[in-house]
Chains A and B, each alone.
Chain A
Amino acid sequence: GQNIDQPTEMTATEGAIVQINCTYQTSGFNGLFWYQQHAGEAPTFLSYNVLDGLEEKGRFSSFLSRSKGYSYLLLKELQMKDSASYLCAAPFGSGYNKLIFGAGTRLAVHP
């Protein structure tokens, strides 16, 4: 079966660093996505990891460990506009043509 777990909520202070974890169990593996979703809006793509290690994109970085079934999203120099839900998702199914999503982690950034 397929399952993705993330913490429900996190809070952090403006300017700080926060790490949002995601553990997954999938039959077969073909990468892991992170999306950002502001309240009432569409998810937007942040990153896709298929190999182990850290990938950095400006203030956001994403890490993957395939052996541990674990990923995290690292947000640096937090800004108020980073307050959003962060969704972890993994492809599955024949041809990996579907995504299973975690419930999302709601991040609140405070001044």
Chain B
Amino acid sequence: DGGITQSPKYLFRKEGQNVTLSCEQNLNHDAMYWYRQDPGQGLRLIYYSQIVNDFQKGDIAEGYSVSREKKESFPLTVTSAQKNPTAFYLCACGSGSTDTQYFGPGTRLTVL
């Protein structure tokens, strides 16, 4: 059963703590993306990766870090440097270029 998964669905963290959000896909897609969604705003690109061991900053990369050690996995770390981390985080994958992006179910992060 092919797809893209994210875990956990809900995540709470205390201020000052780093937290890592998981994203796994078995669609054999080369490209993976992380977006942040805030109420009333569109999806904003945090980081993206087109191939293993390579990734690029998106529009709002400050306070975030990623790795792409395997084709199937693209974890996102929200660091304590991110000033306003409470948001809905969406991971997506695609074949790159203008191919359709397929989204995971999302992780809702709340900083207490």
Count of chain A to chain B residue pairs whose CB atoms are closer than 8 Å in the complex: 58
A38 → chain B, closest Cβ, in Å?
Answer: 11
Set of chain A residues within 8 Å of B84, measured between Cβ atoms? none
Q: Which of A40, A44, A91, A101 contacts B97 (CB 8 A)?
A: A91
Alpha-carbon gap, A102 to B106, bound state (A): 19
Q: How far is the CA of A89 from the CA of B58 in the complex (A)?
A: 15
In the complex formed, the residue of A with least CB distance to B35 is A101
- B interface residues, how many (CB within 8 angstroms): 25
Q: A: which residues have CB within 8 A of B?
A: 4, 8, 30-31, 33, 40-45, 48, 50, 87, 89, 91, 95-104
Residue of B nearest to A50 (CB): B98
Contacts of A4 in B (CB 8 A): 42
Judge whether A41 and B105 touch: CB under 8 Å. yes
Contact of A42 among B48, B90, B97 (CB under 8 A): B90
Of chain A, the residue at the smallest CB distance from B105 is A42
Interface membership of B96, Cβ < 8 A: yes
- How far does the alpha carbon of A103 sit from the alpha carbon of B104 in the complex, in Å? 19
Q: Are B97 and A96 in touch, CB under 8 angstroms?
A: yes
Specify which chain B residues have a CB less than 8 angstroms from the CB of A101 in the assembled complex. Answer: 35, 42-44
**Does B100 interact with chain A (Cβ within 8 Å)?**
yes
Contact status of A43 and B90, CB under 8 A, knowing A31-B98, A95-B97: yes
Task: Write the nearest CB–CB distance from A102 to chain B, whole angstroms.
Answer: 5
- Asked if residues B98 and A43 are in contact (CB atoms below 8 Å), the reply is no
Q: Is the CB of A33 within 8 A of B100?
A: yes
Interface residues as binary, B37-61 with A (CB distance below 8 Å gives 1, 0 otherwise)? 0001111110010100000001000
By beta carbon, the residue of chain B nearest A6 is B42
Give Cα distance in the complex from A102 to B102, angstroms: 17
Name the CB-closest residue of B to A35. Answer: B103
Which residues of the partner chain A approach B103 to less than 8 Å between Cβ atoms?
A: 42-44
Of the candidates A42, A95, A103, the one whose C-beta lies within 8 Å of that of B96 is: A95
A62-B98 Cα distance, complex, nearest whole Å: 17
Q: Do B100 and A48 touch across chains, with their CB atoms under 8 A apart?
A: yes
The answer to whether A103 and B97 touch (CB under 8 A), given A42-B105, A98-B58, is no
